[in-house]
């Protein structure tokens, strides 16, 4: 009897999702004669029976299309809003998995998706995951689907901002996606020739940034490009977050824990608009005009790059092979030019951040890039 495989895409959208769906589907159909069922809108599709058949016709022509033909969502199996109430739908998903006669479920997503996939593994389902996020922060994989395309988009934006900065003798600040990891900002900043790169992993001192910009002015360069991750923190804010997180971890009572959670929520809310505040601070310290460009969701959109299509195809076809070999509970990770299955349990809850001594950072510093530290 041929296998029946379910596929979902969950979390934020990213270029290359359709390429991954196509790779899993075409490999499983062509090599193993499997039947492929797509579930719409992430884990909700499994809970609410939002199915579509992914036959050869449905998979045709989607390799180069951005977004995901299945739609996506951020619902959690154990915490899903149903008729206005938060419900644990894990058991419903398990029943539907069995009712639909699935032999395996492929979940394509980032950090949150891997946590949710692990819950389904623990509930007894045969699950394989593929790493997807423009932030490139999924643990135990060299690359994630979507990162290469987003890196190209962000780099092109930084390239284009150079002409305006040079023409008007301004500081141009480009805010790039990345709440907890700075891979995208770091890569785009280096590739785009940014003069200052600010990432979450390296807390900055605004006075050091201003000093670097003033040095450029003294040498006759009256403009600067600052690439800043949306999650970049000043040294003061970083210390405040760390102290609040420590208080939450060490809380001995519910009251203490709630107080620490509230403090963290206030700090997070206050951090909103940090890039605009940074622009004002730099204007005051350097006497140069500063303008902010927030790239936002444009980084997620459009046609996937050749690199992302290749990565998605490598990972997706291996997922089909692993299902055929009855290897489950793993994420298909990119390792060099190859792929490797790693336990989902080792991925879920972990974050791949930029090491302070990473080769990219060392190279950037050698060409004079400031990190504000």
- Which residues carry out catalysis? 135
Residue 24 burial (CB count, 10 A): 31
Q: Starting at the edge strand that comes first in sequence, how are the strands of the sheet with 196-198 ordered?
A: 196-198, 224-229, 171-176, 290-294
Which of 179, 189, 185 lies closest to 233 in space, CA to CA? 179
User: In this structure, what token pair is assigned to residue 121?
Assistant: 């593994």
**DSSP one-letter code for 288:** S
Max CA pair span of the chain:
75
CA triplet 320, 323, 324: central angle to 5 degrees? 90
Burial of 93 (0-12, 13-18, 19+ CB in 10 A): buried
Instruction: Give the residue from 161, 124, 149, 152 showing the smallest Cα distance to 328.
Output: 124
- How distant, in Å, are the alpha carbons of 22, 153, 305 from that of 176? 29, 10, 18
Angle formed at CA 116 by CA 254 and CA 36, multiple of 5 degrees? 165
Q: Which of 112, 127, 122, 110 is nearest to 39 (CA)?
A: 127
């Amino acid at each position: 009897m041929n296998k029946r495989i379910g596929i979902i895409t969950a979390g934020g959208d990213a270029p290359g999702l359709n390429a991954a769906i196509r790779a899993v589907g075409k490999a499983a159909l062509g090599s193993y004669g499997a039947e492929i069922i797509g579930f719409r809108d992430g884990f909700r599709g499994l809970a609410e029976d939002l199915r579509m058949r992914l036959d050869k016709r449905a998979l045709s022509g989607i390799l180069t299309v951005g977004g995901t033909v299945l739609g996506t969502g951020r619902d959690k199996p154990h915490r899903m809003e149903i008729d206005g109430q938060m419900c644990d739908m894990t058991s419903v998903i398990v029943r539907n998995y069995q009712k639909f006669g699935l032999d395996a479920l492929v979940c394509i997503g980032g950090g949150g998706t891997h946590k949710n996939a692990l819950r389904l593994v623990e509930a007894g389902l045969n699950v394989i995951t593929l790493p997807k996020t423009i932030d490139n922060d999924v643990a135990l994989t060299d690359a994630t689907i979507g990162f290469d395309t987003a890196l190209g988009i962000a780099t092109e934006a930084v390239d284009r901002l150079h002409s305006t900065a040079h023409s008007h003798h301004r500081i141009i600040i480009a805010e790039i996606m990345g709440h907890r990891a700075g891979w995208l900002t770091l890569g785009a900043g280096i590739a785009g020739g940014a003069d200052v790169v600010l990432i979450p992993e390296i807390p900055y001192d605004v006075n050091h940034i201003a000093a670097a910009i003033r040095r450029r002015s003294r040498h006759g360069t009256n403009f600067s490009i600052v690439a800043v991750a949306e999650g970049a923190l000043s040294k003061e804010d970083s210390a405040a977050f760390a102290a609040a997180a420590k208080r939450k971890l060490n809380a001995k009572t519910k009251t203490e824990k709630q107080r620490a959670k509230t403090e963290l929520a206030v700090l997070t809310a206050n951090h909103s608009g940090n890039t605009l505040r940074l622009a004002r601070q730099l204007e005051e310290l350097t006497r140069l005009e500063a303008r902010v460009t927030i790239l936002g969701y444009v980084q997620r959109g459009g046609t996937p790059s050749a690199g992302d299509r290749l990565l998605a195809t490598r990972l997706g076809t291996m997922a089909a092979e692993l299902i055929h070999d009855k290897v489950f509970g793993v994420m298909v990770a990119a390792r060099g030019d190859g792929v490797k299955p790693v336990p989902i349990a080792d991925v879920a809850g972990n974050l791949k951040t930029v090491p302070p001594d990473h080769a990219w950072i060392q190279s950037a510093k050698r060409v004079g890039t400031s990190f504000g530290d």
